[in-house]
Structures are given as C-alpha cells and as structure tokens.
Amino acid sequence: MASAATTTTPEDDEEPGVASPPAASNRTSLLVLVAAIAALTALGAGSGGLLGLHLRGKMESAVQTKADNVVVPEVKGAYPAGVELRTLTPIVTNLASPEHTWIRLEAALVMETDQSAEAKVLTAQIAEDIVAFLRTVPLSQVQGPSGFQNLREDLKDRVRVRSNGKAQDLVIQALIIE
C-alpha cells in the first residue's frame, strides 16, 4: 500500500481553483493575437488614409496646373457679329395634296440687327410668303429626310430672295405634318 500512496498523479498535484499554466498560456496568446490584428488594422487604415490625402493633394495641384495652362481657342460662328434670331409666328396651313393634310412650321430668321418697323414688316412678309409656298407643296415632296432637306433649302432660298439678302438663314425649329 505504501507504494500506492507514494505514487502521485498530475491531477493530485493541482490545487482546486488555480488555473493550469497551459490554459493561461492559451488565453494570453489569443489576447496577443487579437491585439496584434487590431494594431495592424489601425496601422493599415491610418497609412491608407494618409496616402489618400497625399494623392488627393497631388491630383488637385496637377489639375490646377493643367487648367492654368489651357488656352481656349476663339470660337468663330457661322454668322457675323451683327445678326439676331427673329422668331416667326407659328405657321399653320394645309398642303396642296392630299386635301386634308395640315402642316405646322415653327421657324426663326437669322437677320441683321435692325429694330426698325421695316424689319418687322419684312418678317411678316416672309411668314406670308412661306404660307403661300407651303400651300403649293404636295405631301410626297416633303416626306423623308431628303424631302425635309429639300423643303428647308427651298424655304431658305425664298427667304433670301424676299428679304434682298437681309435675312441670311432660316432655322426650322419644329415641323409637324398631320
């Protein structure tokens, strides 16, 4: 029996309530690992933020430098400086054929700047001339893209002739055929 009493097991040496060294070592290493991951995450976020601010500053200075060096070319229009756009009243009339086909045309004239009563009368006469011309046009002549282009060229020619060169162009804003 003495031999049984002298043999001790590792379980007998531990005191109740005291943690064993391997369990304390596991907890400590887990806390160190979590702390290291948190420190590396904070370091990565901080360095990424600083890099972003640095690059943003470089981009803004590069854009500003490029904007300062840009030379804007002078835009030349198709018309001389002394012209204005005069809107005609909407023109509604019927076409030559078919009988019940109506057309509505909204257009503007590119004319020399002139505020006289003669210019206003000329604008009204041009509108009247356009109505007279549209009443002679059959629907087949206006259909399709080429028909629209031909109508536009015919109207421009009539406007130039009627105004003796005072109206330089006719801009069609809307065209409805019903």
Q: Are strands 83-87 and 91-94 parallel, antiparallel or unpaired?
A: unpaired
Structure token pair of residue 162: 């009627």
Token look-up 């109506």 returns 102
Helix 144-163 with 117-134: angle, nearest 10 deg = 140
Per-residue pLDDT of the chain (178 residues; tens, 9 = 90+): 455 555 555 555 555 555 555 666 788 889 999 999 999 999 999 999 999 999 998 998 888 888 888 776 766 667 777 788 899 999 999 999 888 999 999 999 998 887 788 888 889 999 999 999 999 999 999 999 999 999 999 999 999 998 888 888 999 999 999 9
**pLDDT number for residue 151:** 94
**pLDDT number for residue 82:** 76
- What is the SS3 assignment for the chain? CHHHHHCCCHHHHCCCCCCCHHHHHHHHHHHHHHHHHHHHHHHHHHHHHHHHHHHHHHHHHHHHHHHHHCCCCCCCCCCCCCEEEEECCCEEEECCCCCCCEEEEEEEEEEECCCCHHHHHHHHHHHHHHHHHHCCCCHHHHCHHHHHHHHHHHHHHHHHHHHCCCEEEEEEEEEEEC
**pLDDT number for residue 107:** 95
What pTM did the predictor assign? Answer: 0.56
- Per domain, the residue ranges of the chain are 21-69, 83-177
φ/ψ region of 28 (left if φ > 0, alpha if ψ in -120 to 50, else beta) reads alpha
Could you tell me if 135 and 93 are in contact, meaning their C-beta atoms sit under 8 angstroms apart? yes
- What CATH number matches the domain at 83-177, 3.30.479.30, 1.10.10.10, 3.90.1170.50, 3.30.110.30? 3.30.479.30
**pLDDT number for residue 127:** 93
